[in-house]
């Protein structure tokens, strides 16, 4: 989930105390664990870069190599904007994620509020991504996100691994949180759930087999990306800065 290593409901002063740099021993150890188990890992944390603080996700492949670093672009609410710097734009990058089987999965990362803007997921999909990693700290009043995420999956033909915090939130000055909404899920490119957790599970491990290339019928029925490219080539979306 979002800010997993430090907690989302954390005072700004404490976030600075526990913030990590990319060469921190904790992150090095995560890479070692990924290599030792042949497991890919994605972890969200507060990153210190000079005097700036970022809401960051690092991704390691099955060899324990750090293959991607993403910094949240769309900061939500006054508290986030007062604590963190926004990540660089464009933030949507597709990278190769090597798995233990030898399969390489084209992957992208967004964080929480980023997904509520269609442009980020679309940018990642247009770069060729098959999988989107989405750590989140969604609170109960904003459960509409649970409707947004399936739409992003189907309109971009993406698998999405959506990991959300759950349980009661600690009261923090400047935050208006009571509890996190849970509902972590694994979605297919047709927007359907392959696995889903409840709101309050006490912690759940979701396991699903991703059939890459197994949703061609869904993509053929609703060819959003090919249609977008063909229309953009004709200048239909020129006002949005889109081209072929």
With a CB cutoff of 8 Å and minimum separation 6, the contacts of 230 are: 244
Task: Determine the average pLDDT of the residues in 43-52.
Answer: 96
pTM of the model: 0.93
Identify which has the larger pLDDT, 115 or 142. 115
Q: Which two tokens stand for residue 93?
A: 């990058």
Q: What is the pLDDT of residue 89?
A: 74
pLDDT > 90 fraction of the chain, expressed in percent and rounded: 72
Identify which has the larger pLDDT, 99 or 229. 99
Contact assessment for residue 60 and residue 33, using Cβ atoms and an 8 Å cutoff: no
Contact assessment for residue 158 and residue 119, using Cβ atoms and an 8 Å cutoff: no
pLDDT in tens, 126-180: 999 999 999 999 988 776 667 899 999 999 999 999 999 998 888 888 888 888 9
CA distance 208 to 34: 19
pLDDT in tens, 57-74: 999 999 999 999 999 999
């Amino acid at each position: 989930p979002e800010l997993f290593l430090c907690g989302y409901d954390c005072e700004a002063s404490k976030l600075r105390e526990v913030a990590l740099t990319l060469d921190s021993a904790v992150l090095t150890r995560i890479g070692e664990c990924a290599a030792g188990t042949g497991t890919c890992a994605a972890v969200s944390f507060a990153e210190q870069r000079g005097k700036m603080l970022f809401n960051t996700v690092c991704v390691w492949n099955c060899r324990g190599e750090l293959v991607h670093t993403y910094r949240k672009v769309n900061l939500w609410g006054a508290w986030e904007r007062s604590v963190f710097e926004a990540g660089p734009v464009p933030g949507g990058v597709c990278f190769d994620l090597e798995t233990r089987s030898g399969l390489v999965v084209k992957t992208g990362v967004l964080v929480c509020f980023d997904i509520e803007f269609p442009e980020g997921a679309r940018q990642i999909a247009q770069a060729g991504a098959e999988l989107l990693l989405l750590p989140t700290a969604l609170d109960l009043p904003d459960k509409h996100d649970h409707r947004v995420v399936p739409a992003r999956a189907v309109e971009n033909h993406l698998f999405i691994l959506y990991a959300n915090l759950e349980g009661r939130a600690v009261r923090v000055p400047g935050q208006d949180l009571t509890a996190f909404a849970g509902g972590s899920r694994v979605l297919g490119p047709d927007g359907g759930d392959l696995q889903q957790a409840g709101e309050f599970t006490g912690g759940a491990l979701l396991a699903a087999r991703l059939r890459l290339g197994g949703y061609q019928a869904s993509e053929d029925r609703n060819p959003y990306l090919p249609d977008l490219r063909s229309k953009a080539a004709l200048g239909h979306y020129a006002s949005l800065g889109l081209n072929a």
